[in-house]
Structure 1
Amino acid sequence: MGFPGSVPLVLLLSACCILAAAQLPLVINTWPFKGATQRAWDTLQSGGSAVDAVEKGCSQCEVDQCDGTVGYGGSPDEHGETTLDAMIMNGNTIELGAVGDLRRIKSAISVARAVMEHSSHSLLVGQSASMFAQNMGFLSEDLMTNKSLSMHAEWLSKNCQPNFWKNVIPNARKSCGPYKRMKGPWSKKHRMPVKVANVHNHDTIGMIVIDKSSTVVAGTTTNGASHKIPGRVGDSPIAGAGAYADSTVGAAAATGMGDIMMRFLPSYQAVEYMRMGIEPTAACQNAIKRIQKYYPKLFGAMICANRTGGYGKCSKQTLSDE
């Protein structure tokens, strides 16, 4: 499926893997977020840079509240607050800007770009990230909506099920907190299953843009896992986990169970596979397989693209009861 100019759109809808022929410029992203892809493509066509295209494309998903998992008004944490994670990486300079647990600022990807361009840091988090954003001229506003408040109220009515606690008392499978540490050793029955995270409650958009001069840029934005423990930051803003870009090689972006994915830096690993000459689909597959060695029932997916415009994807969408 394509847009004018034959820009390909990658949709991660199945567990199969694909390989597409090389062509530039290129815009690809995770999931069927067509508005985001179109916005990024239009930005390139109007003379914008690859960095501009990633920012505008991801911003469109934030405005559209893609799947309720990107932007404001979705995925409330345990306190009912929506917080955002985002990153952008310039493959020409290996500069990166990222924000985690961003509060009361809607334009997370744009704040991430501001971190990259107006600070010497790579990642800002929490209230301090929000203060930085306000200093950069971003508007402070409530990210909660009637929908997110309703999601939170329903979760509370179900005794805070599911949640992300384990090895605590009272039993997190049956009741809300506050929780206290349970002295070990712990039995498996006290652990919450990994399946509390799935495609419907924790997703993100990952985007790769390569312009005609082979400038490679990658970005991500998300509102994280529903009912997460406040302060949690997922894989999306972590360099090499949520995304990675190197204009001498290509880029990769990942989506899935972020608390597991970030332990393996799959996006960095996929780029390194491509550096060794492995084609994009196999690079995605190999990166996912490394994780599945330890978590065989992982939910995870990746897109990969090399600097000449060849691209591929691979996804594994089985949930785990581990």
Structure 2
Amino acid sequence: MNQTPLILSTWRFGQIANRAGWAILSQGGNALDAAEAGCRAVEEDPSVTSVGFGGYPDAAGEVTLDALIMAAPHRCGAVACVRDYLPAISIARRVMEKTPHVLLVGPGAEAFAAAEGFPQRSLLTREAREAWQRWKQEHGGNIFDKHSGDNSLAQDAHDTIGVLALDVEGRIAGGCSTSGLPFKLPGRVGDSPLVGHGLYVDPEVGGAVGTGHGELIMRVCGTFLIVEEMRKGSSPTAAIKTALERINRQCRPNPRQQAAFIALRRDGEWSAGCLRKGFQVAVRSAKVDTLMEPPLVLMDGE
């Protein structure tokens, strides 16, 4: 199958991911390698405070990473609550390739990363530590304050890097990586490392990736729902609309909570959509390299 390569990524920093992924796709490389490279590039950028090195910590002051990589239901791997190892997306790929499991978490995932030769390193930057210290003062040092992970910063900084890539052979793969909601309760895991929530890819149909407030996406199995809608014949836009409408109807998001998706069909048709304004999608192909508003905003008047 001869296909026109394409890479899509979430948010403004998706252009960082696209640049890294396109370097692979433009040379005839594999979609899975491109998705991994894209996520990895964002994880390594300390200016991105919601992903990887430089990500804001949890309420206890620890940076914990979640990631998932997927090319098919039988080819996926993930990690969650990983401290002191990077890139999480590459550790997730090792889980996929070297274990019979899908998801490793916490100390077990860290021990696996160490055994696979990933170097241990601190992920907490000075800027992230200072932001955490300000937050802690505001909450009296109580990490179990009922507002942990539900503060205004957490509502605004929920920007998972999600990547979908299509290579010249027509293969689709995806990756997503995050440090999660700023100052979340220790142990909290969002949608990103969960198959069918933050990411789902079926080579017979296509793929979808989600970003935003993870609890919203988790409650409707957002990306699995989108792929299944496309399987039934819906366009990527219509499939995303179904997921967003279900989130809005059943999950009762507050006015600050965002949910957004990118969907890519195996024939190369793609779309993006979000609950409310603010989301952007980065798109790169042989003809296009741009950052754009999504075609669908469910609550366009907001």
Same fold per superposition (TM over 0.5): yes
Corresponding residue of 1:227: 183
Q: 1:249 aligns with which of 186, 190, 205?
A: 205
Corresponding residue of 1:31: 11
Corresponding residue of 2:274: 315
Q: 1:146 aligns with which of 119, 122, 126?
A: 126
1:58 aligns with 2:17: no
Q: Contact between 1:82 and 1:144, CA under 8 Å: does it hold in 2?
A: yes
Alignment of 1:159-198 (within 5 A): 159=139, 176=142, 196=152, 198=154
Corresponding residue of 1:213: 169
Alignment of 1:26-175 (within 5 A): 26-33=6-13, 34-65=15-46, 67-91=48-72, 94-159=74-139
In structure 1, what is the Cα distance between the partners aligned to 2:19 and 2:137?
40
In structure 2, what is the Cα distance between the partners aligned to 1:192 and 1:109?
26
In structure 2, what is the Cα distance between the partners aligned to 1:216 and 1:273?
17
**Letter of the structure 2 residue corresponding to residue 214 of structure 1:** G
From the superposition, tell whether residues 290 and 107 of structure 1 become closer, same or farther in structure 2 (CA, over 3 Å). same
**Letter of the structure 2 residue corresponding to residue 28 of structure 1:** L
Tell me the secondary structure at the aligned position of residue 250 of structure 2. coil
Q: Contact between 1:105 and 1:139, CA under 8 Å: does it hold in 2?
A: yes
From the superposition, tell whether residues 234 and 178 of structure 1 become closer, same or farther in structure 2 (CA, over 3 Å). closer
Which segment drifts farther, 236-245 or 209-218? 209-218
TM-score (norm. length: structure 1): 0.79
**Letter of the structure 2 residue corresponding to residue 152 of structure 1:** W
CA RMSD of aligned residues (A): 2.1
Question: Post-superposition shift, 1:135?
Answer: 0.4
Question: Post-superposition shift, 1:54?
Answer: 0.5
Q: Which runs of 5+ in 1 are unaligned?
A: 1-22, 161-174, 180-189
Question: Post-superposition shift, 1:232?
Answer: 1.0
In structure 2, what is the Cα distance between the partners aligned to 1:177 and 1:38?
38
In structure 2, what is the Cα distance between the partners aligned to 1:193 and 1:71?
18
Question: Post-superposition shift, 1:203?
Answer: 1.6
Q: Contact between 1:273 and 1:283, CA under 8 Å: does it hold in 2?
A: yes
Tell me the secondary structure at the aligned position of residue 163 of structure 2. strand
Question: Post-superposition shift, 1:177?
Answer: 5.1
In structure 2, what is the Cα distance between the partners aligned to 1:149 and 1:206?
25
In structure 2, what is the Cα distance between the partners aligned to 1:154 and 1:232?
21
Q: Contact between 2:148 and 2:185, CA under 8 Å: does it hold in 1?
A: no
Question: Post-superposition shift, 1:214?
Answer: 1.7
Q: Contact between 2:149 and 2:185, CA under 8 Å: does it hold in 1?
A: no
Q: Contact between 1:198 and 1:256, CA under 8 Å: does it hold in 2?
A: no
Corresponding residue of 1:287: 243
From the superposition, tell whether residues 111 and 38 of structure 1 become closer, same or farther in structure 2 (CA, over 3 Å). same
In structure 1, what is the Cα distance between the partners aligned to 2:148 and 2:202?
37
From the superposition, tell whether residues 159 and 193 of structure 1 become closer, same or farther in structure 2 (CA, over 3 Å). closer
**Letter of the structure 1 residue corresponding to residue 127 of structure 2:** K
From the superposition, tell whether residues 157 and 307 of structure 1 become closer, same or farther in structure 2 (CA, over 3 Å). same
Corresponding residue of 1:172: none
Q: Which has the larger radius of gyration?
A: 1
Question: Post-superposition shift, 1:191?
Answer: 7.7
- Could you tell me the percent identity over the aligned residues? 38
In structure 2, what is the Cα distance between the partners aligned to 1:213 and 1:293?
39
Question: Post-superposition shift, 1:94?
Answer: 3.2
Tell me the secondary structure at the aligned position of residue 275 of structure 2. strand
Q: Deviations over 1:138-194 (max 9, x none)?
A: 00111111111101110111125xxxxxxxxxxxxxx72567xxxxxxxxxx88895
In structure 2, what is the Cα distance between the partners aligned to 1:231 and 1:318?
30
From the superposition, tell whether residues 95 and 197 of structure 1 become closer, same or farther in structure 2 (CA, over 3 Å). farther
Q: Contact between 1:74 and 1:147, CA under 8 Å: does it hold in 2?
A: no
Question: Post-superposition shift, 1:38?
Answer: 1.3
Q: How many residues align?
A: 272
From the superposition, tell whether residues 128 and 314 of structure 1 become closer, same or farther in structure 2 (CA, over 3 Å). same
TM-score (norm. length: structure 2): 0.84
In structure 2, what is the Cα distance between the partners aligned to 1:307 and 1:68?
32
**Letter of the structure 1 residue corresponding to residue 167 of structure 2:** D
